């Protein structure tokens, strides 16, 4: 080989391996069991891989006891919880596993943090900023603090159905206590530049609270790169059982006023985990991270650390899901659907494969019922986002239709979806 050819070969970008969607699907028993049914309602809850089902079953069979005892089964519960914190910390790129607290769900953690924030408000710093793109859980909870003297400002999405940081900056001042926003819209799939949000909020001394529930299964989470102060997730959207977790910078959580019994340490994460949480579901969450790691090892055999494997997996998922997004936009266009959110196939990097839409002249409920008859599961309604529906000009009692995909969905399912949706539109 000539030296010039060798240099060109070395300079050639490494070709990314094809995403192994068939192998991925084989790890999710529900997909085979439900066939020919298609799960396109993943924004309401994703399926779990076998490794997660096995972890939950094993915990219930062998270690279904309370933690804190001296006998082997109880000691194992403590070990599982510690290991789960470490795994979730790697999933988030957290600096310290003790920044991760487990509990019921993201909504309850939003409430816990809001009650604590309410105790720290002062006349000089009592303003909260929320958005009209978010799930109602990340709006109503902060609205409640108006009873304790808080004032609210609205960061509103533009007509392109996205939040722009340039619109946030004029709302910020030395009176701003906290900005609360989503990482990606659970309804529209629109992504938010949360690192830029954090920079703007911190410039005036405010904190940033992120609802990361919908983003979790779609792309890498990096709390250190984002520089947020709090973040909540729910396992059930990220291939784990129904549970939730809160992350926060250790110093922020340490000074956060929380309820706790006097015998519980006044330090994270224990001060946040009031009462007993569901240990078997935490074991399942840890196994979900194991699943992600295993996928990352396949996509990048050189990934040598848990975080590197997680990053390889989630980056691969993100790239594959962009192909799904392009295919879905084409499918929706072929049926004449009105798409809410980013609809330009050249801008799919600004969204995840979650699509809210309507068919002209067809009630959303009818669309969903007819698609269900074709063995395709999607959803209709207001998506727990009444202000968003108002911005879209949609009636709250009807709302829109939502189809939401994750990385175990494939292009053949999108083709079936397109065919069925065109049939619904043609019958209108």
- Reported as a single tens digit per residue, the pLDDT across 204-239 is 999 999 999 999 999 999 999 999 999 999 999 999
Q: For 241-253, what is each residue's pLDDT tens digit?
A: 999 999 999 999 9
Is 347 a member of any domain?
yes
SS3 167: helix
Same domain, 259 and 407: no
Is 12 a member of any domain?
no
Report phi then psi at 409, rounded to 5.
-80, 155
> What pairs with residue 208 in β-bridges?
179
Q: Which domain holds residue 386?
A: 21-47+320-426
Which of residues 289, 312, 331 is at a domain's end? 289
Is 294 a member of any domain?
no
Is 3 a member of any domain?
no
SS3 44: helix
Give the closest residue to 208 by CA, choosing from 159, 239, 249.
249
Q: How far apart are CA 193 and CA 204, in angstroms?
A: 18
CB atoms within 10 A of CB 200: 20
Is 199 a member of any domain?
yes
Q: How far apart are CA 139 and CA 229, in angstroms?
A: 17
Give the closest residue to 414 by CA, choosing from 27, 41, 42, 40.
40
Same domain, 42 and 82: no
CB atoms within 10 A of CB 323: 16
What's the pLDDT at 428?
83
How many domains are there within the chain? 2
Q: How does residue 77 score in pLDDT terms, banded at 50, 70 and 90?
A: very high
Q: For 343-390, what is each residue's pLDDT tens digit?
A: 999 999 999 999 999 999 999 999 999 999 999 999 999 999 999 999
Give the closest residue to 256 by CA, choosing from 102, 136, 92, 99.
99
Q: Give the mean model confidence (pLDDT) for residues 151-180.
A: 98
Q: How far apart are CA 222 and CA 220, in angstroms?
A: 6
Same domain, 247 and 114: yes
Same domain, 95 and 180: yes
pLDDT at 7 over 60: no
Same domain, 112 and 212: yes
Same domain, 195 and 249: yes
Q: How does residue 17 score in pLDDT terms, banded at 50, 70 and 90?
A: low
Is 175 a member of any domain?
yes
pLDDT at 91 over 70: yes
Asked if residues 331 and 378 have their Cβ atoms less than 8 Å apart, the reply is no
Is 267 a member of any domain?
yes
| Strand bridging mode 230-234 / 100-103 | unpaired
| Strand bridging mode 376-377 / 38-39 | parallel
Same domain, 219 and 249: yes
Stated pTM of the model: 0.94
- H helices of 63-94, where? 72-92
Which of residues 271, 289, 307 is at a domain's end? 289
Same domain, 42 and 136: no
Same domain, 70 and 171: yes
Q: How far apart are CA 276 and CA 273, in angstroms?
A: 8
pLDDT at 121 over 70: yes
What's the pLDDT at 90?
98
Same domain, 69 and 96: yes
Q: For 249-291, what is each residue's pLDDT tens digit?
A: 999 999 999 887 788 888 999 999 988 899 999 999 999 999 9
Q: Give the mean model confidence (pLDDT) for residues 47-63.
A: 98
Q: How does residue 16 score in pLDDT terms, banded at 50, 70 and 90?
A: low
> What pairs with residue 381 in β-bridges?
399, 400
- Residues 257-274: b if buried by 16+ CB within 10 A, e if exposed: ebebeeeeeeebbebbbe
Asked if residues 68 and 206 have their Cβ atoms less than 8 Å apart, the reply is no
Same domain, 174 and 193: yes
Instruction: Count CA within 13 A, CB hemisphere, residue 364.
Output: 21
SS3 47: coil
Per-residue tokens: 98: 């003790």
Is 223 a member of any domain?
yes
CATH number, position 362: 3.90.1150.10
């Amino acid at each position: 080989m000539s030296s010039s050819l060798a240099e060109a070969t070395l300079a050639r970008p490494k070709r990314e391996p094809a995403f192994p969607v068939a192998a991925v699907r084989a790890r999710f028993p529900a997909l085979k069991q439900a066939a020919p049914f298609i799960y396109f309602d993943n924004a309401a809850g994703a399926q779990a891989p076998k490794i997660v089902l096995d972890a939950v079953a094993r915990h219930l069979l062998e270690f279904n006891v309370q933690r804190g005892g001296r006998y082997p089964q109880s000691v194992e519960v403590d070990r599982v919880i510690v290991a789960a914190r470490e795994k979730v910390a790697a999933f988030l790129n957290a600096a310290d596993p003790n920044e991760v607290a487990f509990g019921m769900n993201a909504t309850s953690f939003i409430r816990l943090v809001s009650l604590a924030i309410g105790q720290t408000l002062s006349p000089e710093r009592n303003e909260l900023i929320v958005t009209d793109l978010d799930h109602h859980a990340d709006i109503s909870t902060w609205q409640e603090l108006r009873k304790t003297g808080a004032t609210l400002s609205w960061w509103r999405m533009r007509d392109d159905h996205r939040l722009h940081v340039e619109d946030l900056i004029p709302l910020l001042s030395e009176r701003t206590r906290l900005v609360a926003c989503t990482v990606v819209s659970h309804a529209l799939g629109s992504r938010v530049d949360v690192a830029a949000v954090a920079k703007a909020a911190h410039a005036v001394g405010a904190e940033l609270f992120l609802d990361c529930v919908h983003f979790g299964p779609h792309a890498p989470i990096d709390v250190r790169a984002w520089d947020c102060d709090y973040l909540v997730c729910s396992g059930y959207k990220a291939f784990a059982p129904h549970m939730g977790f809160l992350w926060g910078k250790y110093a922020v959580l340490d000074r956060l006023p929380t309820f706790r019994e006097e015998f519980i340490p006044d330090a994270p994460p224990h001060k946040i985990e009031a009462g007993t949480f569901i240990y078997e579901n935490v074991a399942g969450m840890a196994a979900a991270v194991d699943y992600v790691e295993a996928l990352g090892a396949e996509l990048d055999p050189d990934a040598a650390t848990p975080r590197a494997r997680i990053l390889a997996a989630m980056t691969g998922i993100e790239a594959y899901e962009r192909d799904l997004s392009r295919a879905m936009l084409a499918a929706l266009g072929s049926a004449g659907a009105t798409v809410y959110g980013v609809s330009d196939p050249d801008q799919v990097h600004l969204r995840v494969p979650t699509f809210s839409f309507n068919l002209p002249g067809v009630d959303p409920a009818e669309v969903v019922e007819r698609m269900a008859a074709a063995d395709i599961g999607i959803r209709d309604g207001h998506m727990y986002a009444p202000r968003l529906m108002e911005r879209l000009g949609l009636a709250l009692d009807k709302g829109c239709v939502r189809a939401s995909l994750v990385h175990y969905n494939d292009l053949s399912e999108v083709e079936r979806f397109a065919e069925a949706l065109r049939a619904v539109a043609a019958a209108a």
